[in-house]
Amino acid sequence: MPIRPTHTFSRLAARLRRVLGLHLGLYAPAIAVIFTNMRRDGLILCVAIPAMLLWSGCSGGGPIAVKTRPATVQGQLLNVYRPPVQGTLTRVAMLPISGNIQPQDAEQEIENIFHSEFNQNQTFEGVAVSRQELTGIIRQEDIASNAVIPPELFPNLRERDGAEAVLFTDITYYRPYRPIAIGVRSKLVSIATHQVLWSVDVTFDSSEPAVAAAAREYNRVTNQDQPQVKAPDAEGTLLSPRRFARFVAREIYNRLPARAITQPVASQ
């Protein structure tokens, strides 16, 4: 049977106001309700008061500051392995892109963009290997950059294309709607030595302010001769998955190793 509130409860609420201040006093009515409907059980009283104190302390602290990580394009590309290339490296076999890209019709378009930007960089001569051609060599249409390399792959590419290295590329994350994001893992491997000559593992997320700013700057530089449009991103690097993919590919391949030519040692 519920008990009636007594003067003892009123005096306790008043004492709480005086000791803990006005802030807790805002919750005194709720405390009184708890006291009114509870039984005379000291355990419930011991639990109810700390719970209200915790509620009061949590609700009065204001907004919680969220620390965000720096997201400059340079920062995004810190995870790049690029030792000096010894000797002469000219021709690179570009394997089909690996990864689950949805919708599927975007897969070939993204692959063409990355292969085009690799050659646009003009560091190496890239020779594209089609999915059909790769299936004829290793009986699968793509191969991930972190997969075990089939022993027949490198000899075939060296004989067929005169390749000196192989480019593996994975799309590890693909979000084609705003904010657009693309994750890429790629590596360049020497056919002769199986040495990794260059590798990168990075995600470009346009929700990061610095990445978005770099994408807009890329758009401004590459569209100087284009007429102005009313889109907020001036033609839409941040609106178009295709243009954003081209921006990402260019940023990545700008970090390719320079071709180092070792001069022969003069005979004594």
CATH of region 73-253: 3.40.50.10610
Q: Which residues pair with 200 in a beta bridge?
A: 80, 186
Q: Where are the domains of the chain?
A: 7-59, 73-253
Identify whether the C-beta of residue 161 lies closer than 8 Å to the C-beta of residue 129: yes
Identify whether the C-beta of residue 49 lies closer than 8 Å to the C-beta of residue 34: no
**Alpha-carbon Rg for the chain in angstroms:** 32
Identify whether the C-beta of residue 130 lies closer than 8 Å to the C-beta of residue 108: no
Predicted TM-score (pTM) of this structure:
0.65
> Is residue 96 helix, strand or coil?
coil
What are the average pLDDT values for consecutive 10-residue runs of the chain, which has 268 residues? Answer: 51 54 44 44 43 41 35 53 65 95 88 96 93 97 96 96 96 95 96 92 94 92 60 69 96 80 35
Contacts of 142 (CB under 8 A, 6+ apart): 95, 96, 97, 98, 131, 134
> Is residue 203 helix, strand or coil?
strand
